[in-house]
């Protein structure tokens, strides 16, 4: 019988609007940037929650900031700005990004944010030099809830979607839970982590590695999966999970947790349904406000009252973490 | 905490506001979301999301597209419906000690009348903003908002049902001459006008070759529409509101205190802040504080001193 896996959210801290110093910036693989933000000592967030980040709206500042960062060893190489791209840059609404990990040390709190520079806002954000200030609203949304018993937690992240999964592993391990993580990407260069050396392909075998520092730090065994077989399992992360169940799983109770593209989450939800496992997934949403006002990030969900086949719920307020059974998959 | 000065007070019909800064419909939910960031009592008023007789799920996503200096939305009047609003949302809003203006949308005359009558009878409703200008749903009332005779008929009927709350009519910019519509609304009994609603627009994904919004078109809001809104406020002020002594609740792209001053000068008595709440949830109280400073700098005793005051 699947346990109740209703995502948590009733007792979260109220969001605040804060200017946070960007204390460090690191490349996370070839396509991603990790921002480390200094948060106030009373910062209180749980894995799965997100922050909504104000991006620059002044094109000249965008150019200046990119000028500072081009060729900089910290920032990596970003595409040269063309006039056309510059003219397109008018980020107005904030960009919602997962809180990847939270570090507490001697009264200081640091937030790790993983950025994939794809559009005007995220590219500007990834180009910010260390020492600048980032304006956030957060923490927002609900969070992953640990299982009620000591069952094995299988965590899966697809591409940049692994961001909150890193923090979830930290959290579950700190509660004494056992975890195994799966990280999937199109190829090894699209993995949002800085490998010390590139991991080897394992072809059709599921094998644990400690190559991903973010998981290794919580001693969470990690299975890599790539669509082109360039590292780890040759196939999707969810195919690797199915293979894991066939080969390595010892029959113990399991809870599934996932964050990534919708097709991956849908595949994970199918595994959960077939095996009758609790499954929480974190959804991505294009948001206007992040605080439940603009109603843009609506997703079809099972009607909790049972009165209708479905109802729209908001990813920002009634999510991003959702019981996989509650989603009306399209 | 920022404390507004009492001399910021304005009057919108029979509605007394302690300052001229309100939130715009659809950009402040039912109050509790923004109340996480500041005391809503700092605002002059809060305008709710549109309420319809029955609950509405709204349009399928994507419902929002960011465009240069603005955004398009096509939410589709998603709301909890009149019954749940009166039962759950209004009592919660009443706690905030801020005048509540309820935005009302409908598809038929009867629906508008039923919702307005129920709201007028409900304690804690200081104003009703008649949405006859939603560009996104067929039954969003826009057919009432683009024809002066149809609008006059609706406003007249609603006026008879509304005795306690101040009746504000929200005008669409998607018309040939907004002054014609404004005159019809005032002649039929509107106590105040709010303008402008969003401009109908289209966002296209050039590579996929399809509209970004499921609804195809959406309402454009944000800084991009401010000059259009200022022009329309000015036109309505000159042609109708000024001579008739009807207050205007101005909105469209307001983000900074300079924008507020500009709207007052164009002819607004008070303003609503919409999209800017998404950029900075604390915009409302910041504008209140900024306005007090700005009025001092301009040597004005009250915001009313600026209303309509444009040289040349």
pLDDT tens digits for range A247-296: 999 999 999 999 999 999 999 999 999 999 999 999 998 899 999 999 99
Q: Predicted ipTM?
A: 0.87
pTM: 0.89
Q: One of B27, B116, B134, B300 is an active-site residue; which one?
A: B134
> Which distant-in-sequence residues (6+ apart) come within 8 Å of B98 by Cβ?
B31, B40, B41, B43, B44, B45, B46
pLDDT tens digits for range B174-207: 999 999 999 999 999 999 999 999 999 999 998 8
Q: Tokens representing A82?
A: 């063309």
pLDDT means per 10 residues in chain A (330 residues)? 48 92 94 96 96 75 46 41 46 93 94 91 89 94 96 97 98 96 96 93 94 95 97 97 96 97 97 97 93 95 85 95 94
- Comparing alpha-carbon positions, the chain B residue that sits nearest to A289 is B278
- The answer to whether the Cβ–Cβ distance between A289 and B278 falls below 8 Å is yes
C-alpha angle with apex B67: A93 to A134, nearest 5 degrees? 25
Q: A2 with A278: CB under 8 angstroms?
A: yes
> Which distant-in-sequence residues (6+ apart) come within 8 Å of A126 by Cβ?
A33, A35, A75, A78, A115, A117
Provide the 10 A C-beta neighbour count for residue B87.
Answer: 11
Of B68, B73, B223, the CB nearest to A294: B73
- The answer to whether the Cβ–Cβ distance between A291 and B68 falls below 8 Å is no
DSSP string, B263-279: HHHHT-SEEEE-THHHH
- Comparing alpha-carbon positions, the chain B residue that sits nearest to A287 is B64
What domains sit in chain A, N to C, each tagged with a CATH number? Answer: 16-140 (2.40.30.10), 152-281 (3.40.50.80)
What domains sit in chain B, N to C, each tagged with a CATH number? Answer: 6-305 (3.20.20.70)
């Amino acid at each position: 019988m699947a346990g109740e896996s209703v995502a948590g959210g009733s007792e979260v801290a109220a969001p605040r609007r804060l200017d946070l110093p960007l204390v460090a910036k690191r490349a996370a693989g070839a396509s991603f940037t990790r921002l480390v933000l200094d948060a106030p000592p009373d910062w209180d967030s749980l894995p799965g929650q997100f922050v909504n980040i104000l991006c620059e709206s002044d094109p000249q500042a965008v150019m200046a900031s990119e000028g500072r960062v081009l060729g900089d060893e910290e920032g990596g190489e970003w595409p040269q700005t063309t006039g056309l791209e510059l003219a397109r840059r008018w980020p107005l609404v904030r960009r919602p990004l997962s809180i990847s990990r939270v570090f507490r040390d001697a009264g200081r709190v640091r937030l790790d944010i993983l950025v994939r520079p794809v559009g005007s806002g995220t590219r500007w954000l990834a180009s910010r030099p260390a020492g600048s200030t980032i304006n956030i609203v957060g923490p927002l949304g609900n969070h992953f809830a640990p299982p009620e018993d000591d069952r094995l937690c299988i965590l899966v992240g697809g591409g940049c979607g692994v961001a909150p999964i890193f923090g979830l592993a930290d959290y579950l391990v700190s509660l004494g839970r056992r975890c195994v993580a799966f990280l999937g990407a199109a190829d090894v260069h699209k993995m949002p982590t800085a490998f010390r050396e590139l991991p080897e392909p394992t072809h059709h075998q599921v094998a644990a590695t400690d190559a991903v520092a973010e998981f290794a730090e919580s001693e969470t065994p990690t299975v890599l999966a790539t669509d082109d077989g360039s590292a780890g399992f040759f196939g999707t992360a969810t195919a690797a999970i199915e293979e894991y169940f066939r080969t390595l799983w010892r029959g113990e109770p399991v809870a599934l947790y996932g964050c990534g593209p919708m097709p991956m989450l849908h595949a994970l939800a199918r595994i959960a349904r077939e095996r009758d496992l609790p499954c929480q997934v974190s959804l991505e949403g294009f948001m206007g406000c992040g605080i439940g006002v603009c109603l843009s990030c609506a997703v079809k969900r099972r009607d909790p009252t049972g009165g209708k086949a479905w109802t729209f719920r908001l990813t920002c307020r009634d999510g991003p973490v959702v019981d996989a059974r509650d989603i009306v998959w399209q | 905490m920022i404390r507004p000065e009492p001399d910021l007070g304005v009057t919108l019909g029979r509605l007394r506001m302690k300052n001229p800064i309100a939130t715009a419909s659809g950009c402040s939910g039912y109050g509790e979301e923004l109340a996480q960031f500041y005391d809503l009592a700092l605002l002059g008023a809060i305008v709710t999301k549109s309420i319809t007789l029955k609950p509405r799920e709204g349009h399928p996503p994507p419902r929002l597209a960011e465009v240069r200096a603005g955004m398009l939305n096509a939410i589709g009047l998603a709301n909890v419906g009149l019954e749940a609003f009166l039962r759950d949302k209004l009592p919660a809003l009443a706690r905030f000690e801020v005048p509540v203006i309820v935005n009302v949308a409908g598809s038929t005359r009867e629906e508008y009348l039923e919702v307005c009558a129920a709201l007028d009878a409900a304690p804690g409703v200081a104003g009703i903003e008649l949405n006859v200008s939603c560009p996104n749903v067929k039954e969003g009332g826009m057919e009432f908002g683009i024809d002066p005779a149809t609008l006059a008929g609706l406003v007249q009927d609603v006026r008879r049902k509304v005795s306690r709350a101040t009746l504000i009519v929200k005008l669409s910019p998607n018309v040939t001459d907004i002054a014609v519509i404004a005159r019809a609304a005032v002649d039929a009994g509107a106590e105040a006008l709010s303008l402008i609603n969003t401009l109908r627009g289209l966002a296209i994904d050039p590579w996929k070759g399809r509209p970004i919004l499921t609804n195809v078109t959406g309402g454009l809001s944000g800084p991009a529409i401010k000059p259009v809104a200022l022009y329309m406020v000015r036109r309505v002020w000159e042609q109708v509101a000024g001579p008739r002594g009807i207050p205007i609740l101005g909105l469209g792209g307001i983000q900074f205190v300079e924008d507020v001053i500009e709207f007052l000068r164009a002819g607004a008595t008070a303003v609503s802040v919409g999209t800017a709440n998404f950029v900075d949830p604390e915009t409302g109280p910041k504008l209140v504080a900024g306005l007090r400073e700005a009025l001092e700098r301009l040597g004005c005793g009250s915001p009313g001193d600026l209303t309509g005051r444009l040289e040349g």
